[in-house]
Amino acid sequence: MGFLAILNAYTMRISLSIAITELVVKKNHTDSDGEAAVCLADDMDHGTSTGGTYEWSEELQGFILSSFYIGYIVTHIPGGLLAEKFGGKWTLSLGILSTAFFTLITPVAIINGGATALIIVRILMGLGEGTTFPALSVLLAQWVPLNERGKLGALVLGGGQVGTILGNLLSGVLLDAFDWPIVFYMFGGLGVVWFIFFCFLCFNDPTIHPYIKPSEREYLAKELGSLGRKENLAPTPWKAILTSIPMIALVCAQIGHDWGFYIMVTDLPKYMSDVMQFSIKANGLYSSLPYIMMWIVSIGSGFVGDWLITRNILSITNTRKMMTGIAAFGPAIFMVAASYAGCDRLAVVVLFTICMGLMGAFYAGMKLSPLDMSPNYAGTLMAITNGIGAITGVITPYLVGVMTPNATLLEWRTVFWVAFGVLCVTAFIYCIWASGEVQEFNDTPPRKDHDAEERGKSSDKEKQKH
């Protein structure tokens, strides 16, 4: 259900990335744009995407696509704190439900309010979805043993790739067969269905799960040390967390990952449509292929990471560093290479597929660091890293719109070179200073039970009287 939570979150998030190519008036390139400005039309099925009726500039489109992340950033830390205090179940499920609601009303907003209403709805969607990763981190910390963390963590977090695959693939098919509102109705409806099942099937921790076997509960107690949430958990040690060198390194790696990932997940369909001139059905197919490879690699890297750790071949720290390095330097190289493949469609698709495939190793690398560094405050750590990283989700789509006013190949090549630099620098910082060990701030002295303390004082006074 955690896997399906992220899957639904991503289908709702990225459904606009392909739909927007059918909403806006398609840009016409003249001979003066240059021979290599864009590629010749693709005739795979019904010709290239014809576009729609909304005259939104590339810069405005960039802001529309980035507006989701304005709201997404805001609820990360509150979501993590709420999940740690009250459990991850309702923090996660109500966030997904609100995202589903605003996805369902997106067509109404576009038709009646245009770009302004769409931006507002996307911000509200982001507010709901911002709790997803922090809440899931808290749930994983309560349910997943250390020696299974790599494969189960990668499986759950891999919902992002599968959601992107289905979002792109099904959007292309649906937009080819129906009018554009169907995309938002379908994915929003699936989010509501997930919420109903999750409410009845899932619980905060093993101690309150009504269906768990005693043997399962005993196994988890042995592996995790404790099962229930710590009711007397000390206040979040903000200063220790924010001044921790491994934490700063983790934030840097998250920024690099998100910079590359959000460019691809948000703008790859636009690149395929505007530059490669793929038809809408082909766009959906080819934009989804890189994430199929990414999902396969993320699951495989989780198993490899667990194997390296359990066999004592590499420490947790070095395993996380190795996976993060593969997931940053590899995509940086292949992303730029794809822009030099010109209009060779096969080469472009293959290079982007390898690029995103290698990025899948992040999920057995730095994505698991919050759970490694602090099981007690995993939600807060995930909220800080994912929240700061998500700022790139605001910056990159808008920056892409500013950098590609004519949507030409050369303009896009500059975008990929900038991503190359960000990925390499941030990964370098992580590989030097990151840590996979439990940090000192995890064991902050617990909050005292004031009622118990008062009872103790009263008891002492009674003894003194006697």
| 232 vs 295 pLDDT, higher one | 295
Predicted pLDDT at 325: 94
Cβ neighbors of 177 (< 8 A, separation 6 or more) are none
Which residue in 418, 306, 313, 419 sits closest to 363, CA to CA? 306
Tell the residue number behind the tokens 């700063």, with chain if given: 248
Confidence of residue 329 (pLDDT cuts 50, 70, 90): very high
| Measured distance CA(177)–CA(191) in Å, rounded | 22
Contact partners, residue 112, CB within 8 Å, separation at least 6: none
Show Cβ contacts of residue 331 under 8 Å, excluding neighbours closer than 6 positions.
Answer: 260, 355, 356, 358, 359, 423
How many helices (H) and strands (E) the chain has is answered by: 19, 0
Percentage of the chain exceeding pLDDT 90: 26
What are the residues whose beta carbons fall under 8 Å from the beta carbon of 450, sequence distance 6 or more? none
Q: What is the pLDDT of residue 231?
A: 55
* Mean pLDDT taken over the chain: 82
Count of C-beta atoms within a 10 Å radius of residue 223: 13
> 73-87, 227-241, 292-306, 451-465: which range is least confident on average?
451-465
Of the chain, the percentage scoring pLDDT greater than 70 comes to 86
Instruction: Kindly report the pTM of this predicted structure.
Output: 0.73
Alpha helices for 87-148 (secondary structure H): 88-104, 106-129, 132-143
User: 465 Cβ partners below 8 Å, 6+ apart?
Assistant: none
Tally of CB atoms within 10 A around 438: 15
> Mean of the pLDDT values across residues 52-75?
85
Instruction: Flag whether pLDDT at 2 surpasses 50.
Output: yes
Backbone angles phi and psi of 54, in degrees to 5:
-90, 125
What whole-number distance in Å separates Cα of residue 436 and Cα of residue 450?
35
Cα separation of 462 and 350, whole Å? 79
- In whole angstroms, give the CA distance from residue 188 to residue 310: 41
Cα distances from 84 to residues 3, 256, 281, in angstroms, run 20, 27, 43
DSSP code, position 295: H
**Contact by Cβ (8 Å): 260, 416:** no
Amino acid present at 96:
I
Domains of the chain, first to last: 1-26+51-229 (1.20.1250.20), 244-444 (1.20.1250.20)
Average pLDDT over residues 402-418: 86
Q: Is 447 a residue whose pLDDT tops 80?
A: no
**Which tokens sit at 16?**
């606009």
Segment holding 80, helix H or strand E: helix 76-86
Q: Where does the pLDDT of residue 28 fall: very low under 50, low under 70, confident under 90, or very high at 90 and above? A: low
**Helices of type H across 236-279:** 238-242, 245-274
95-110: pLDDT as tens digits: 999 999 999 999 999 9
pLDDT at 33: 46
